[in-house]
Amino acid sequence: NIIVTNKLAGRLMEADGEPVSGQQLADEFGISRTAVWKHIKDLQEKGYEISSIKKKGYTLTGIPDSLEAAAIQPLLKTVRYGKTLEYLSSCESTQIIAHQLAQQLVPDGTVVLSEEQTAGRGRMARKWDSAHGKGIWMSIILRPDIPLQRAPQFTLIAAVSVVRAIEEVTGLNPDIKWPNDILLNGKKCTGILTELQSDADGIQALIIGIGLNANQEMEDFSDEVKDIATSLKLKKGSPVSRQELVRSILYYLELYTAIYIDEGFAAIKLMWEGYSTTIGKPVRARMAKETLEGIAESITDEGVLQIRTPDGKLHGIYSADIEM
């Protein structure tokens, strides 16, 4: 029954503000007009704004700010990504759920979204601040047929996809800081975490975690991140649509992944370099065992950062925190 309710919501969303008559909905869904009316009531209780005008029908005038499948899927422009979508109001981490789902043979492009994470994580077991309903806390399960060592490139593919989506939906112009930060005026608005499941046959699943600060106010951030974090709303001065952002991120991620699989990393690398604040700058790279200072010269075709130290040597950095 909830499935019919959701499909009906989708039908009204696709009508794009035009009224759809109760009779037409009844015919399309093979239910009575009274049943249609009950589904409409259910939707209204969930926060969907639907007006009904005699002889014309039902018009959708507002959708709740939720990331549930019914709100995301109808206007999705992808072929596969997001077609299977697990939505939770709260969880420890969408990465954990995605890892579990990945073992159950869910399809390429399966998405996990949660309104809140109680133990959101960054790289190296760091915490990720995930206030309820304010951001996009999303994990995407991909099953690309690529060798293990190419997995880090997906962090860069995801970063370019998120930047394009932010530009498209909000008009803001974020930068990328290698490897996984997206910044607005030097403050972090998005972090990306790429994890994988592999066996002797290679990669079974890539789990791409995206944490995007959408509508936080300053007070929604914990003291630990207040000084280094920002949200799209804070920068733009008005709320942004999380639903449109999710759809746009999935659209670009599917598109750029296809380009990457067909043509290799070169095209993605060009876009990435266009958005990067890191290349050409003096940087300090903190790694687990050492710290290097030098000029960030380029990224390789594998996505490895090349730093030239003052002694003229070129160092390939696979993972680090970059200070500029």
Residue 193 interacts with ligand BT5 (CB under 6 A): yes or no: yes
Which single residue brings its beta carbon nearest to ligand BT5?
191
State the nearest-atom distance from the C-beta of 256 to ligand BT5, in Å. Answer: 19
Instruction: Output the 3-class SS for the chain.
Output: CHHHHHHHHHHHHHCCCCCECHHHHHHHHCCCHHHHHHHHHHHHHCCCEEEEECCCEEEEEECCCCCCHHHHHHHCCCCCCCCCEEEECCECCHHHHHHHHHCCCCCCCEEEEECCECCCECHHHCECCCCCCCEEEEEEEECCCCCHHHCCHHHHHHHHHHHHHHHHHHCCCCEEECCCEEEECCEEEEEEEEEEEEECCEEEEEEEEEEEECCCCHHHCCCCCCCCECCHHHHHCCCCCHHHHHHHHHHHHHHHHHHHHHHCCHHHHHHHHHHECCCCCEEEEECCCCEEEEEEEEECCCCCEEEECCCCCEEEECCCEEEC
Interface residue with ligand BT5, options 94, 161, 243, 276 (CB under 6 A) = 94
Interface residue with ligand BT5, options 6, 180, 215, 257 (CB under 6 A) = 180
The nearer residue to ligand BT5, 73 or 180, going by C-beta atoms, is 180
Residue 191 interacts with ligand BT5 (CB under 6 A): yes or no: yes
Site mask for ligand BT5 (CB under 6 A), range 114-153, x = bound: ---x--xxxx--xxxx-------xxx--------------
State the nearest-atom distance from the C-beta of 159 to ligand BT5, in Å. Answer: 11
Site mask for ligand BT5 (CB under 6 A), range 196-225, x = bound: -------------xxx-x-----------x
Site mask for ligand BT5 (CB under 6 A), range 279-318, x = bound: ----------------------------------------
The residues binding ligand BT5 (CB under 6 A) are: 93-95, 117, 120-123, 126-129, 137-139, 180, 188, 191-193, 209-211, 213, 225, 228-229
